[in-house]
Structure 1
Amino acid sequence: MTPTSAIISTTTIRDVSLRDGLQLTGKVLPTEKKALIVRRLLALGVPEIEIGSMARPDLVPPMANSLELIGELTPEELRRCWVWVATPRHIDKAAQAGARNFQYCFSASDAHNRANIGRDTEASVAALPSAIQMVQELGGRIEMCVATAFSCPYDGDVDPQRVLDITADARTQGVDDIVLCDTLGRAVPGEVAHLVTAVHHAHPDVRVAFHGHDTWGMGVANAITAINCGARMVDATLGGLGGCPFAPGAAGNTPIEDIAYAIRPPWLRHSTFADLVTLADELLADVAETSGSKAARSSKSSTTSSDWTT
């Protein structure tokens, strides 16, 4: 079921190409090129963008110049940008560079949290109140990003109650958003509907977001399901780039071209879509990756006349 126009008008598509999209490519894009991508996405009308990560550069080399990118952007641009963090110290470093919006990430699964962040989930939750206080004092925004909310590459399926318990923990209260991540791209719409509905009903004053991967071809279906069940933001990347270094076998994120074509947000026009496809092609060429977007591919190969062909 496609979301109604009223729902779409309140739904944000966030582009996460410069963080989740790039982290497995092994190549550090120049800061100037990253800044240009941010500005082109903002000019197209993409409401929010994830621009980088405070992850250790030796573990995730493509994120090495994230602080430089933050410093390159204006305060006005940064108000629409997010930075991945895992500790209060990460927030301090990014804030000193000018960041104001922080995606505090940890995993529902202890095994994945240890692999990804180097501690168990309880340690990440315990540090969250300090992170929330820091961001509130900055006048910024903080979201709690729960990775492996559906399944873990090490422990298998994650009990939805585990995620609900995390979001109900008193130490997690005060976040602006709750992001539910299908890190492996293995969830199906029924599972997404159950978890998103439950979290939305339990936290009606907090924006719920869905971060999906397209490993099993469910990316767009899961995103639309999440929107219909209360999510007000969905993540995507140009050309479906992406994947987690600590989630073996997970494919890229859901392509922003496919989600935008499916739900037709207010900022999307035929010309905007064409420019989005072009920008994706340029980024993919820079990192020597191929596009996973079916909408982009179809827009180039359509044999019939359509306003959406590029």
Structure 2
Amino acid sequence: MRFEFAPQVKLRDVTLRDGLQLTGKLLSTEHKIETVRKLLQMGVPALEIGSMARPDKVPPMANTLEVVAGLTPEELKRCWIWVATPRHIQMAAEAGAKNFQYCFSASDSHNKANIGRSTEDSLDAMPAAAELSRQAGGNIQLCIATSFTCPFEGEIPQDRIINIANDERTHGASDIVICDTLGQAVPAQVANLISRTRSETPQREIIFHGHDTWGLGVANTLAAVSAGATTVDGALGGLGGCPFAPGASGNTSSEDILFATRPDWFTPGVLAEMVQPSESLLTNLDEPNRSKTVQGARSRADAFEWVMPQPVTTG
């Protein structure tokens, strides 16, 4: 029997951007492209595949433009690139990108550490970024990092997020991404901010980007979905974190989000298939697999359909 868990929610896997940021290791262009294609073929609706951050600041993003150039236009329709300036959009669009996540922080301190400018400066540049996105025939998202807490300033007032979302300089964005950058929010906070964003700001698709630092990644994701988020971010094996946010750890695991929400395309067979590229990538990076779903799928509770078959051994 199949139940409807949260059929309206979509996963965007961010392994190849947010997932790689803290690893310090550059995956080959070929490995990244292979991972993109495997996840798209499995049915993952959307992917974040790289960042225009400076390679000297975030080395694992150095080959982002090569990855974009190696994908087909059809594949790129489901892929997003992290950008922070109009110039970033211009460069990514020239390589073939169509979807841009324009990101800045709600707190000045984190924005200066992450991007090297004030939040107000990022807001001032957004209309030009939106225009370049439009000229490229693409889409642009408003992504607000540190929507709940900042490693330098502490808790961020929710009104700060609502005011940014209502600022006319952000009105060119089709979507809004609410980020629990440090993974310090709790479900009630997430539900309240997502609900306020839905009811008090321009009508846009709402994306929730969570981290599992304090073990509430899936709970916060489900709270966001219940409050109106229609897309949620995750990374394979819970990989990731922000290099400019002390205290942040991995993203919420994509496998755990999928197991909790059960979209129609995600079956026990797809889970078993997803483990291979996930573990190949994590092994390459010398990173552990933090997904509770993958741990559970490797158990010996054979009566549960989500448990993967045990390998046959011979004596």
Q: Same fold (TM over 0.5)?
A: yes
How many Å separate the matches in 2 of 1:138 and 1:31? Answer: 24
Tell me the residue number matched to 2:120.
122
Tell me the residue number matched to 1:175.
173
Cα pair 2:14 2:233 within 8 Å, conserved: yes
Secondary structure of the residue aligned to 1:301 is coil
Secondary structure of the residue aligned to 1:24 is coil
Aligned counterpart in structure 2 of residue 160 of structure 1, from 144, 158, 161: 158
Higher Cα Rg: structure 1 or 2? 2
Q: CA deviation at 1:266?
A: 1.5
How many Å separate the matches in 2 of 1:277 and 1:249? Answer: 28
How many Å separate the matches in 2 of 1:68 and 1:221? Answer: 36
Tell me the residue number matched to 2:215.
217
Which deviations, in whole Å up to 9, do the C-alpha atoms of 1:279-301 show, x marking residues without a partner?
A: 21111001000011111001102
TM-score by length of 1: 0.97
Q: CA deviation at 1:102?
A: 0.2
How many Å separate the matches in 2 of 1:156 and 1:302? Answer: 43
How many Å separate the matches in 2 of 1:238 and 1:204? Answer: 32
Which deviations, in whole Å up to 9, do the C-alpha atoms of 1:11-43 show, x marking residues without a partner?
A: 110000000001111111110110000000000
Q: CA deviation at 1:302?
A: 3.4
The 5 Å alignment of 1:1-310 reads: 5=4, 8-203=6-201, 205-310=203-308
Percent identity over the alignment is 54
How many Å separate the matches in 1 of 2:181 and 2:175? Answer: 17
Q: CA deviation at 1:82?
A: 0.1
How many Å separate the matches in 2 of 1:174 and 1:204? Answer: 11
Gaps of 5+ in 2: 309-315
How many Å separate the matches in 1 of 2:33 and 2:75? Answer: 10
Tell me the residue number matched to 2:311.
none
Secondary structure of the residue aligned to 2:50 is strand
Q: CA deviation at 1:204?
A: 6.0
Q: CA deviation at 1:138?
A: 1.6
TM-score by length of 2: 0.95
How many Å separate the matches in 2 of 1:302 and 1:57? Answer: 44
Residue 109 of structure 1 aligns with an amino acid whose one-letter code is S
Cα pair 2:256 2:292 within 8 Å, conserved: yes
Q: Alpha carbon RMSD of aligned pairs, Å?
A: 1.1
Gaps of 5+ in 1: none
Which deviations, in whole Å up to 9, do the C-alpha atoms of 1:144-179 show, x marking residues without a partner?
A: 100000000000000000000000101111211100
How many Å separate the matches in 2 of 1:302 and 1:278? Answer: 19
Secondary structure of the residue aligned to 2:48 is strand
Q: Where in structure 1 do 4 or more consecutive aligned residues deviate above 4 Å?
A: none
Cα pair 2:301 2:307 within 8 Å, conserved: no
How many Å separate the matches in 1 of 2:174 and 2:6? Answer: 20
More deviation, 149-158/278-287: 278-287
How many Å separate the matches in 1 of 2:297 and 2:38? Answer: 20
More deviation, 9-18/98-107: 9-18
Secondary structure of the residue aligned to 2:237 is helix
Q: CA deviation at 1:9?
A: 2.8
Number of aligned residues: 306
Secondary structure of the residue aligned to 2:100 is strand
